[in-house]
Amino acid sequence: MKDTLPDLRLLLAVLAPLAGAGLVMATGRRPNLRESCSLLAALTLFGITASLVPDVLAGKTLRYTLFELLPGLSFALRADPLSMMFALAASFLWILTVFYAAGYMRSLEEHGQTRFNTCFALAIFGAIGCAFSDNLLTLYLFYEIVSVTTYPLVAHHQDAEGYEGARKYITYLTTTAKGLILPAMVLIYVLSGTLDFATSVHPGILPSGVHNGVIAALYVCCILGFAKNGIMPLHHWLPGAMVAPTPVSALLHAVAVVKVGVFSTVRVMLHVFGVDLMARLNLGIPTAYFVSITILGASIIALSKDNLKTRLAYSTVSQLSYIILGVALLTPTGIEGGLVHIANHAFSKITLFFCAGAIYVASHKKNISEMKGLGRAMPWTFGAFAIAALSMIGAPPVAGFVTKLYLLIGALDAGAVGILVVLVASTLLNAAYFVPVVYHGFFGQPSEQDAHHPPHEAPLAMLIPLCLTAALSVALGLYPDFFLQFAQAVVK
Amino acid sequence: MTTPSHLLFGLPLLSLLIFSPLAAAAVALLIGREQLLRGWTLVSTTLIAGISLPLWWRFDSSTAAFQFREHVSWISFLKIDYSLGVDGISLLMVLLTTLILPLCVLASWTYIKVRIKEFMVCLLVMESAMIGVFCARDAILFFVFWEAMLIPMAVLIGVWGGPRRLYASLKFFIYTMAGSVFLLVALIALRIKTGSFSLEGMVGQHFSPGFQGWVFAAFFLSFAIKVPMFPFHTWLPAAHVEAPTAGSVILASVLLKMGTYGFLRFCLPITPQATIAFAPWMLGLSVIAILYGGMTALAQNDLKKLVAYSSVGHMGFATLGIFALNPQGLEGAVLVMVNHGVTTGALFICVGILYERLHTRELGAVAGVGKTMPIFTGFFGVFCFSSLAFPGTNSFIGEFLVLAGSFAHSKALTVCVVPGVVLAAAYMLRVLQRVSFGGTDNPDHSGLADLNLREIVTLTPLLVAVLWIGLHPQPLVQVLHATVHQLLQQVGPALSAAVALAP
């Protein structure tokens, strides 16, 4: 029996970014003070989250109830191994993004930086709330908070393209949440009288005796309803959201927002339906094949995109489904591989976006075909990009290799040979769309103009974070135990 | 537990609540200065709101019995009594009425520029009548208050309304008057069967199914117009668009609740068998109202029309919950009634604030005011989110319970409602996007003043209510619990009989 302790730190963790948003708004007229407030909030959040690690690893489940609405219906927080993986990755990367964003926004002299930083902190507030949700209702609350607080970030440029991208963004995300998750949640409440997540991955919370068809319908609603997970065909919002400034694409649309979607999906698969029920109804392997369409389809689309951020966005769509695929295999190794990719993908993909932003600030180039020879002028940036790309491809010793290894073993354990083929094909595709970027960067012939006026590296505020995340991607490949121990604790 | 005292300062509480607005109106007639008139109405409505609070403190939520009873013989040869009392449902409605009225006065402070005395008198008379409707325990007394609301409301629209005020006022008058006639016929028919106008005497009488059917039909016509249920809703957008802000607020917050209140007070307990027989039709109309209201709201460019059509959808949720005929549905329905009062009232006040500054309610013309009016946009945003039932706001919990009740009743029916929920998000987010951001061709709003202190004071109580009910709805649900339980027991025997008869 695991200990359950009411823990005030959970409340403080969720309040830190919220308070940060308030401070940012209040100090908007003094940019340095404003950015310091963001940094302070990020450091506080990470500090609190890190302080939870020993207790969670000791097998405790920490809880804190915010508001009791009705019996079985409350806003409540919990910290368990699954929440820690997401919370640690998101809160740590926020610290680096604060520096990066300051460098990016100031270099480009963007307007509305106070609104930008406020909404950024609010989006992190939503993401951390999702990570620490103790029940489906709380998860839904914070999921929706993330949707609405990121709207102003996507629409940031306030031009026709920005509004169009943001319109698509909010339409996809709220329609699926209201149309699929809300009814599914109400029905789960009617059926089981509670929305609290189970404490282990096996039992789920649905009572026996519910018709199999109803369970299957609920399951489909939950897989498609959390559309932030980018499963095709409900992925269009993500490429559309690339109109946002690059720090948003980096932290939110590679880490916080999309991981909220994947995290919610995984949370519901493991702690609402449960491994036992999914295995009994044979929901796992069909899900794995269903998301395989996304893994391969998004990679093929990525091949055709010349805009670097769009290519990265499709790569994200593809990689997110790795996580769901791993969990859907329903074998311990598969689940561990899927879960650890939440962190591995976060560190590598944020590096790639950081690099894309750095290239844009330094050279105002967005398209891959224009970046020939740029690597020689910006060796640090392109070097980091190469390392992170290796991680996406799944080459050792970078983080993505660990994921791929676990997924392959998981697929073998589950006896799903088709999944092996998918993973191999996906690796080849990943290589096909990442290698040319690096190759052209270092070995391509620069254009006339670039040859005469070669661009310089981006400001240090941007360069240092992206080198750090690249280094950490390698570190996570060499010492994968840090996040793996949480993944193993989830499955235990 | 002893019944709570019905006296305050030695006076019967409910009568005090009903007649003090009338007394205030009489005093207002003697006041000449405009500013003093406004101040007097504000002070008196605030005092009345204060007087209503002991109802909440003293209310015993453990019993379904009517409390704060008053009973005096009125017209003895017709057996008409002056009989008052409140249960959980009426308690919330009375409080909603008394608490929203001071805000109506504040919202009219500068909006109403002519005939201020008459306006304030109308407001106060309305308040008397509305409280009376929710407290009456005698059918004729109920009807008297019911009719007494009609004239001041029609006057509010007809005198202080917009360009097409006479049309709107007349339409409102004809629709509701027509409904009232059926109500009166039904009440007289019940009087002939039971021998008195006492509402207690009409409950649990086991009337013949045919009689129940006719009485239900008459009630239905009267209440469905008031809710308004599809297809009797066409007076509502006209009335809302033309009415002054305070008129719209009263109309949305309190008057629409009269219809659903009537269903709860008359149809369910008095004609239970007919209620069950007609419930599928009622549910069908509710679903149509939700979908139709949502789709029509999405197509509107006039802010007031948009909020009016959203009301049709929200009230559809209330009737859906009522006719799901289970505890969650009924409790959810009453919460939806309260929440709609708070949120839609607030939205109408917001639209009024914009109208006072820009003299237009066109979505294109108000686009992008968020830049110059950030405080307003903050308030407006919260109310928009409340309207689309964002979790953590008041509407969410009501909608959640209604959907839960509806799922328990029929899964297929509830699936039909889901597009309505999505539509609510679509039209509210569209409005919020237009108001806060707009597009690339926003009109010039520089020089527009943000909210002043009076407007902030008007909106803050509603904001507090949105969050308080959203995060801590338990006291409200608790107050309803016994009442709803008893209501279902009154329908219950017929309900189980219907189940037994089903093949």
Domains of chain B, by residue range, sit at 277-491
Residue A243 scores a pLDDT above 90: no
| Interface membership of B19 toward A (CB under 8 Å) | no
**Nearest-neighbour CA in chain A from B326: distance (Å):** 12
pLDDT at A451 over 70: yes
Most A-contacting residue of B429, B434, B469, B472 (CB-CB within 10 A), to test interface: B429
**In this prediction, what percent of chain A has a pLDDT beyond 90?**
65
Compare CB distances from A183 to B401, B408, B414 and report the shortest one's residue: B414
Nearest CA in chain B to A143: B391
Average pLDDT of B422-446? 87
Rounded to a whole number of angstroms, the distance from the CA of A424 to the nearest CA of chain B is 40
Asked if B421 has any chain A CB less than 8 Å from its own CB, the reply is: yes
CA–CA dist B266, B260 (Å, integer): 10
Residue range B216-237: mean pLDDT, rounded:
90
- pLDDT the model gives residue B496: 59
Domain boundaries, chain A: 286-492
Pure H helices in A248-331: 257-268, 275-280, 284-303, 308-328
Whether A69 and B471 lie within 8 Å, measured CB to CB: yes
Residue in A75, A160, A186 closest to B404 by CB: A186
Residues of A in contact with B472 (CB under 8 A): 67, 69
B437/A155 Cβ within 8 A: yes
Q: Which one of B331, B394, B418 would you mutate to disrupt binding with A, by most A Cβ within 10 Å of its Cβ? A: B418
Name which of A296-300, A374-378, A448-452, B122-126 the model is least confident about: A448-452
Closest in A141, A155, A179 to B391, CB measured: A141
Query: Is the CB of B429 less than 8 angstroms away from the CB of A187?
Result: no
Mutation target to probe the A interface, by most A beta carbons within 10 A, among B400, B442, B468, B484 is B400
Shortest CA gap A152–chain B (Å) = 9
Q: What is the pLDDT of residues A254-270, one digit of tens each?
A: 888 999 999 999 999 99
State the pLDDT at residue B502. 40
Distance CA B391, CA B388 (A): 9
Average pLDDT, stretch A64-70? Answer: 88
* Chain B residues close to A159, C-beta within 8 Å: 440
More confident residue, A70 or A42: A42
- Predicted local distance difference test score (pLDDT) of residue B216: 93
Could you tell me the pLDDT band of residue B495, with boundaries at 50, 70 and 90? Answer: low
The shortest CB-CB distance from A141 to any of B392, B415, B429 is to B392
Chain B residues near residue A214 by CB distance under 8 angstroms: 411
Q: Does B414 touch chain A (CB under 8 A)?
A: yes
Average pLDDT in chain B = 89
Return the pLDDT at B494.
58
Coil vs helix vs strand at B7:
strand
> Which tens digit of pLDDT belongs to each residue from A163-201?
888 898 999 999 999 999 999 999 999 999 889 999 889
Span A297-354, pLDDT tens digits: 999 999 999 999 999 999 999 999 999 999 999 999 999 999 999 999 999 999 999 9
Report A:120-159 residues touching B (Cβ under 8 A). 137, 140-141, 144, 148, 151-152, 155, 158-159
Chain A within 8 Å of B411 (Cβ-Cβ)? yes
Using one digit for the tens of pLDDT, what is the confidence trace for B253-265? 999 999 999 999 9
Cβ-based contacts under 8 A for chains A and B: 78
Verify whether the Cβ–Cβ distance B477 to A70 is below 8 Å: yes
Question: Is residue B501 predicted with pLDDT exceeding 50?
Answer: no
Provide, as residue numbers in chain A, all residues whose Cβ is less than 8 Å from the Cβ of B326: none
Instruction: Identify any residues that bridge with B80 across adjacent strands, giving them in sequence order.
Output: B75
Task: Inform me whether the C-beta atom of residue B472 falls under 8 Å from chain A C-beta atoms.
Answer: yes
pLDDT grade for A31, boundaries at 50, 70 and 90: confident
CA pair distance A336, A348, nearest whole angstrom: 18
Vertex A357 angle, CA A95 and A454, to 5°? 130
| Four-residue CA torsion sign, A273, A275, A277, A282 | positive
A213–chain B Cβ distance below 8 A for any pair: no
Report CB contact under 8 Å: B408, A144. no
Question: Region B19-35: what's the mean pLDDT?
Answer: 90
Give the closest of A67, A170, A174 to B471, CB-based. Answer: A67
Per the CB < 8 A criterion, the answer to whether B395 and B327 are in contact is no
| Cβ–Cβ under 8 Å, residues A91 and A51 | no
Q: What confidence tens digit (pLDDT) does each residue in A385-419 have?
A: 999 999 999 988 899 999 999 999 999 999 889 99
With an 8 Å Cβ cutoff, is A69 touching chain B?
yes
Q: Retrieve residue B261's tokens.
A: 């209140």
Residue A447: pLDDT over 50: yes
- The yes-or-no verdict on residue B236 having pLDDT over 50 is yes
Per-residue pLDDT reduced to its tens digit, B38-58: 999 999 999 999 999 999 988
CA distances (Å), B86 to each of B63, B66, B142, B329, in order?
A: 12, 5, 13, 21
Of B391, B404, B477, the CB nearest to A189: B404
- Does the CB of A171 have a partner CB in chain B at under 8 Å? yes
Q: Exposure of B325 by Cβ count < 10 A (0-12 exposed, 13-18 middle, 19+ buried)?
A: buried
pLDDT of residue B503: 36
pLDDT of residue A241: 86
Which residues in chain B are closer than 8 Å to A175, comparing Cβ atoms? 422, 425-426
pTM of the model: 0.93
Under a CB-based contact definition with an 8 Å cutoff, are residues A357 and A365 in contact? no
Residue B309, both tokens: 């059509």
Closest-CA residue of A relative to B397 is A69
Residue with tokens 């830049």: B371
Say how far apart CA A491 and CA B123 lie, in whole Å: 64
Three-class SS state of A198? coil
pLDDT tens across B363-406, in order?
A: 888 888 888 898 999 999 999 999 999 999 999 999 999 999 99
The answer, yes or no, to whether residue B427 has pLDDT greater than 80, is yes
Q: What ipTM did this prediction achieve?
A: 0.90
pLDDT of residue B1: 42
Q: What is the mean pLDDT of chain A?
A: 90
pLDDT number for residue A179: 93
Is a pLDDT exceeding 70 seen at residue B334? yes
* Residue-level pLDDT at B367: 87
Residue A139: its chain B contacts at CB < 8 A?
none
Interface check for B441 against chain A (CB to CB < 8 A): the answer is no
